[in-house]
Structure 1
Amino acid sequence: MSNTLSQAEQSCDEQAASCSAIELILTPRETDLGGFSVRRTLPTSRRKMVGPWIFFDHMGPADFPAGSGVNVRPHPHIGIATVTYLFEGEILHRDSLGSLQPIRPGDLNLMVTGRGIVHSERERPELTATDHRLHGLQLWLALPEADEETDPAFHHYLGADIPDVVINGVAVRVMMGSAYGVTSPVKCFSETLYVEAHLKPGDRLTLPDAEERGLYIASGSLRAQETALAEHSMTIFANQPDIEIEAVTESRIALIGGASVGKRFIDWNFVSSRKERIQQARDDWQAGRFPKVPGDEEEFIPLPG
């Protein structure tokens, strides 16, 4: 990854410098994910993590003609919990624990990888038989050191179980952690924040406090303390109270954050506080020592060189 800043990033940083509440504004890079592109904002050379969050992908919106779609072969993970949330479409989750779960808009999918898990992300034949669209977010939480080698687990939360609140006329969902007087039932391993909101032009929203916060604009545009925040940007805010954002256009946002869990190493799909643990995971995948995914045993993604 190049350390050279784009003109857009330089412009963002110039704006951020004039706003004491804003530490940094990140722009994502396009990354191919097996037939369609995603916008990857974390990690970057400029910012590795926001609280416990170490990976942030914005998928789509991607339109697939009949006969094609998401087809991510089995691959391994260690040391994280993956979070999948869809705005549109559907993904069929399978993992080496035997889980088989369609992920649909509004639901939240939490896969705790711990010491090691393998999963695939595909689509049901009924879906791929027609033209369809996929749009959503995929995030990784770095597990605290005490939980890096925990037993892998799978949790699926229906949309009806995620708390909804209206704050100053703004529809807000508290996906993980506590904010605006409500607490999400989604399992957390450390101080974690994940909030989504939909703002109409002119709407204002005061951000919940957290040690570290990153505000991603999935669609639309905002302003914070006279600084323009563009679509698909992630703004890293200082640990200051009462930071307010205002929607310039209709906007959908995701706020992530929480307390730092310390430094992490990342290599492909492996995350750990110890480099030697990542090398062990690479060796284990190469040697076929990870478990298989029931119902999806034939294919796999090879270890990158």
Structure 2
Amino acid sequence: MSNIGLVIEEKPADIGNFLVGRLLPFREKRAVGPFVFIDHMGPAALKDYQNMDVPPHPHIGLSTLTYLFEGSIQHKDSLGSDIEIKPGAVNFMTSGKGVVHSERTPEYLRTTDKNLHGFQIWIGLPKHMEQSEPTFHHTEADEIPTWEEKGIHYKLIAGELLNHKSPVPTHSKLFFLEIKSKETQKLNIGETLFGEVAMYVLEGSVNIEGHTFSGKQLIVAKNSKLCEFEMAENTTIYLFGGEPFKEERFIFWNFVNSDKALIEQAKKNWHGQNLEAFPKIPGDDEEYVPLPRAILKGTK
């Protein structure tokens, strides 16, 4: 019996003036473990007059994880964080009851040609943390655990797996793992995984049960314990997974929560620009992303 539960094709989505490939959520699969949202950004070649600009926007009930392969993003938030995200580093912001942030091309790159490529990820919070105070943590690339076994290179970007633990301060049992191989390799790592798992092929290809997958797809396993595959030479893959929550997580625009009433209140607070709920971002307070019309309906 096949262990391929679902294959999700990337679909285009606009995040401001930048087009991404959306992998989660999907109509048949709203989450993989605690991962509720995955965007594949790029690879994009931006001209000297093209820049990424996602103005201030709010979040509740989630952690954002930004991981870049190429390029640079300036992150600013209502906690006062102001940091440049570079390839290999991990930006991890936990919104809790409410936070506002913006993502833009850094000032020094705005008039030059540049590339941008990476993942934008949302991770749901345990129910007891959905109303916690917001926090921010930045982990540099050289702090991420990396190791090699039998010619295969591993990097544990977040979570705990294979006797390694990432310093990224996640709040539930999960893993976000990079695997690279220069040679054709067969892997059977199911016994080390837990909860749910999905695979994304960034470069090269993998063979699973006689089927070849080579990118722009999220492959969801029926059973993480049966996770085995063959990597072609010069292949890079990412595994996302972990223990799912007992309660359903609802997503409305940038808000995630197990309680719809808290989402409704967040909609009202953002639409009314309630500064107690959603403070301004120091140094980026002249504009904001308004609540979309479709969500605005019924919000006063």
State the match for 2:41 in structure 1.
59
Deviation at 1:201, TM superposition (A): 4.6
* Unpaired stretches in structure 1, ≥5 consecutive residues: 1-18
Q: Give the one of 213, 223, 233 matched to 2:197.
A: 213
* Equivalent residue for 1:238, pick from 222, 237, 252: 222
Amino acid paired to 2:249: R
**Amino acid across the alignment from 1:267:** F
Conservation of the 8 A alpha-carbon contact between 2:77 and 2:101: yes
Give the one of 136, 150, 157 matched to 2:139.
157
Q: TM-score, normalised on structure 2?
A: 0.92
Offset of 1:240 from its aligned partner?
4.5
Q: Which residue of 2 aligns with 1:127?
A: 109
Task: Name the structure 2 match of 1:251.
Answer: 235
Could you tell me how far 1:35 is from its partner in structure 2? 2.4
Deviations 1:189-233 (A, max 9, x none): 111111012223512333341110011112322112322223111
Residue 265 of structure 1, aligned match among 226, 250, 254: 250
Structure 1 counterpart of 2:94, from 91, 112, 115: 112
Shift of the alpha carbon at 1:26?
A: 1.1
How far, CA to CA, are the matches of 2:109 and 2:229 in structure 1? 38
Aligned residues: 287
Could you tell me whether the CA contact under 8 Å between 2:16 and 2:54 is conserved in 1?
Answer: yes
Consecutive unaligned residues of structure 2, counting only runs of 5 or more, are: 294-300
Aligned to 1:6: none
Q: Assess if the C-alpha contact under 8 Å between 1:36 and 1:62 holds in 2.
A: no
SS in 2 for 1:25: strand
Instruction: Tell me if 1:198 matches 2:183.
Output: no
Q: Please, what TM-score do these two structures have when normalized by structure 1?
A: 0.91
SS for the counterpart of 2:223 is coil
Would you say the 8 A contact 1:168–1:205 is kept in 2?
A: no
Query: How far does the alpha carbon of each residue in 1:161-195 deviate from its partner, in whole angstroms, 9 at most, with x for none?
Result: 10001132111101112222211111121111110
Distance in 1 of aligned mates of 2:150 and 2:9: 29
Query: What value does the CA root-mean-square deviation take over the aligned residues?
Result: 1.3
* Paired AA for residue 280 in structure 2: K
